[in-house]
């Protein structure tokens, strides 16, 4: 691809933003913990960034149960009670804020999964689990799959691209 032609063109246009991402006027970022998901989605926000990287410790338990919590949330099965409080969504997930998943950075290695003896990127692992388990349901309820990939190191990005 000849990017110089694109850069030098007098008129060019990027892809149109997804409708659910246009109004990001009120946004919350937090972990994929059940109580956080319920509280954030019950708030008057337009977007919730479920942050696996900076809002969660990189433990196998946190990563797997974060995925379980998101799975349950999408299916309106996230309500729960503790001895002190009942946590319940105010509305169906389909009517709530747009959820954006922020997986771990591309340069972080997932130490619990190997393919042909090779470890994979934790970012690819997080993305893959979320995509595989939730795409069909999100499409059925009129929601989209949104991801925020950040903190990739230029050298690592170069290795992946070439």
pLDDT tens digits for range 119-138:
999 899 999 999 999 999 99
Containing domain of residue 39, as a range? 21-151
Residues of the chain where predicted confidence (pLDDT) is lower than 70: 1, 12-14, 24, 151-162
Q: Is residue 140 part of a domain?
A: yes
Domain-embedded: residue 57: yes
Give domain status of residue 82, yes or no.
Answer: yes
Number of separate domains in the chain: 1
DSSP H or E segment with residue 40: helix 34-42
Q: Is residue 126 part of a domain?
A: yes
* pLDDT score for 155: 46
- CB-based contact 76:59 (threshold 8 Å): no
If one counts every other C-beta atom within 10 angstroms of the C-beta of residue 29, the result is: 16
């Amino acid at each position: 691809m000849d990017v110089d032609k694109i850069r030098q063109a007098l008129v060019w246009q990027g892809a149109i933003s997804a409708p659910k991402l246009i109004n990001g006027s009120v946004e919350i970022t937090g972990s994929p913990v059940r109580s956080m998901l319920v509280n954030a989605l019950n708030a008057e926000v337009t977007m919730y960034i479920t942050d696996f990287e900076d809002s969660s410790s990189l433990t196998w338990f946190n990563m797997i149960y974060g995925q379980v919590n998101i799975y349950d949330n999408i299916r309106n099965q996230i309500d729960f009670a503790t001895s002190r409080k009942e946590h319940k969504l105010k509305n169906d997930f389909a009517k709530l804020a747009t959820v954006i998943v922020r997986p771990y950075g591309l340069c972080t290695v997932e130490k619990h999964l190997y393919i042909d003896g090779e470890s994979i990127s934790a970012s690819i692992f997080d993305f893959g689990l979320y995509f595989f388990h939730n795409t069909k349901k999100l499409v059925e309820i009129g929601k989209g799959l949104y991801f925020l990939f950040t903190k990739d190191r230029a050298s690592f990005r170069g290795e992946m691209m070439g």
